[in-house]
Amino acid sequence: QVQLVESGGGLVQAGGSLRLSCAASERTFISFAMGWFRQAPGKEREFVAAITWSGGNTYYADSVKGRFTISRDNAKNTVYLQMNSLKLEDTAVYYCAALLRYSSDYVRDSQKYKYWGQGTQVTVSS
């Protein structure tokens, strides 16, 4: 059982930046592709970004492309989400998740992810 713990959320003004971190409890983390999802009040959970185990491939939702950057440090069992130029519509609870069986067809599908963190709140104010 892999435990994922997100941190770094908070309140930020529109146009500002935040960096989210997701720390994994197990060394097997390095073999997983990892993803970030978010869920705003009254909305379904949506894909934000994903990264393969090596970091060689990254994927982004169109809504965050060019503003968010996903990265990972396997030595620290941690994946990051750097969020720049934040907008009001980025307000949500952000979750990291582990994808055990990687396929480029799976990275945007939340149902393919096995382990999930508890989430961290990001609130963007005007």
Band of residue 107 on the pLDDT scale cut at 50, 70, 90: very high
Task: Tell me the per-residue pLDDT of 52-85, one tens digit each, with 9 for 90 and over.
Answer: 999 999 999 999 999 999 999 999 999 999 999 9
Task: Calculate the average pLDDT of the chain.
Answer: 96
Q: For residues 115 and 112, give the distance between their C-alpha atoms in angstroms, rounded to a whole number.
A: 10
What's the CA gap between 69 and 72, in Å, rounded?
Answer: 10
CA angle (8 as vertex; 118, 73 as ends), nearest 5: 90
pLDDT digits (tens, 9 = 90+) for 20-34: 999 999 888 888 999
**Distance (Å, whole) CA 37 – CA 16:** 20
Over residues 35-46, the pLDDT tens digits come to: 999 999 999 999
User: Buried b / exposed e across 60-72, counting CB within 10 Å, b at 16+?
Assistant: bbeebeeebbbeb
User: What pLDDT is attached to residue 1?
Assistant: 83
Residue 83 near residue 17 (C-beta atoms within 8 A): yes
Q: Is 18 in contact with 69 (CB distance < 8 Å)?
A: no
Q: What is the pLDDT of residue 43?
A: 96
**Nearest Cα to 89, choosing from 116, 67, 71, 108?**
67
Q: Which two tokens stand for residue 23?
A: 């720390």
